[in-house]
Amino acid sequence: MLTLEHVAQSYGAKPVLKDVSFQLKAGQIGCLLGPSGCGKTTALRLIAGFERLAGGAIYLGGQVIARPGHCMPAEQRRVGLVFQDYALFPHLSVAANVSFGLSHLPTADRNNRIHEMLDLVGLAREAESYPHQLSGGQQQRVALARALAPRPRLLLLDEPFSNLDVELREKLSLEVRDILKHEAITALLVTHDQNEAFAMADVVGVMNEGAIQQWAAPYTLYHEPANRFVADFIGQGVFLPGTVLNDKQVEIELGVLDGHIPSDCADSGGCGACAKSCKVDVLVRPDDIIHDDDSAMQAEVERKAFRGAEFLYTLRLPSGNRLLTLVPSHHNHAIGEKIGIRLDIDHVVAFRQ
* Amino acid, res. 144: L
Residue 161 beta carbon to another protein: minimum distance, rounded to whole angstroms:
16
Ranges within 36-55 binding another protein (CB under 8 A): 41, 48-52
- The region of 98-106, 181-189, 243-251, 271-279 touching another protein under the rule CB under 8 A is 98-106
- Under the criterion CB under 8 A, does residue 167 sit at the interface with another protein? no
Residue 80 beta carbon to another protein: minimum distance, rounded to whole angstroms:
6
Q: Which is nearer to another protein, 162 or 332 (CB)?
A: 162
Residue 73 beta carbon to another protein: minimum distance, rounded to whole angstroms:
5
Which residues have a Cβ under 8 Å from the Cβ of 77 and sit 6 or more positions away?
Answer: 48, 49, 60, 65, 153
Residue 48 beta carbon to another protein: minimum distance, rounded to whole angstroms:
6
Site track 62-91 with another protein (rule: CB under 8 A), x = hit:
---------xxxxxxx-xxx-xxx-xxxxx
Q: Which is nearer to another protein, 12 or 270 (CB)?
A: 12
Which residues have a Cβ under 8 Å from the Cβ of 351 and sit 6 or more positions away?
Answer: 227, 228, 231, 239, 262, 280, 281, 283
DSSP E strands in 105-248: the ranges are: 154-158, 187-191, 203-208, 211-216, 238-246
DSSP E strands in 83-193: the ranges are: 154-158, 187-191
Interface residue with another protein, options 22, 59, 100, 130 (CB under 8 A): 100
Give CA–CA dist 132/153, Å, rounded: 29
Contact 310, 350 (CB under 8 A): no
Give CA–CA dist 264/245, Å, rounded: 15
- Binding residues with another protein: total (CB under 8 A): 34
Q: Which is nearer to another protein, 36 or 294 (CB)?
A: 36
Q: Which is nearer to another protein, 186 or 214 (CB)?
A: 186
Say how many CA atoms lie within 13 Å of 174 toward its Cβ: 5
Tell me the C-alpha to C-alpha distance, in Å, between residue 204 and each of 18, 147, 219, 321.
18, 22, 10, 32
Which residues have a Cβ under 8 Å from the Cβ of 76 and sit 6 or more positions away?
Answer: none
Q: Which is nearer to another protein, 97 or 214 (CB)?
A: 97
Residue 157 DSSP SS3: strand
Interface residue with another protein, options 18, 40, 113, 146 (CB under 8 A): 146
Residue 85 beta carbon to another protein: minimum distance, rounded to whole angstroms:
6
Interface residue with another protein, options 150, 210, 218, 225 (CB under 8 A): 150
Residue 13 beta carbon to another protein: minimum distance, rounded to whole angstroms:
12
Q: What angle do CA 44, 64, 22 make, to 5 degrees?
A: 50
Tell me the C-alpha to C-alpha distance, in Å, between residue 71 and each of 11, 144, 175, 271.
17, 25, 34, 48
- Under the criterion CB under 8 A, does residue 217 sit at the interface with another protein? no
Q: Which is nearer to another protein, 34 or 262 (CB)?
A: 34
Residue 317 beta carbon to another protein: minimum distance, rounded to whole angstroms:
44
Which residues have a Cβ under 8 Å from the Cβ of 171 and sit 6 or more positions away?
Answer: none
**Cα radius of gyration (the chain):** 24
Residue 88 beta carbon to another protein: minimum distance, rounded to whole angstroms:
8
Give CA–CA dist 168/137, Å, rounded: 7
Residue 97 beta carbon to another protein: minimum distance, rounded to whole angstroms:
9
- The region of 122-130, 145-153, 167-175, 265-273 touching another protein under the rule CB under 8 A is 145-153
Q: Which is nearer to another protein, 155 or 282 (CB)?
A: 155
Which residues sit at the interface with another protein, rule CB under 8 A? Answer: 11-12, 41, 48-52, 71-77, 79-81, 83-85, 87-92, 100-101, 103-104, 146-147, 150
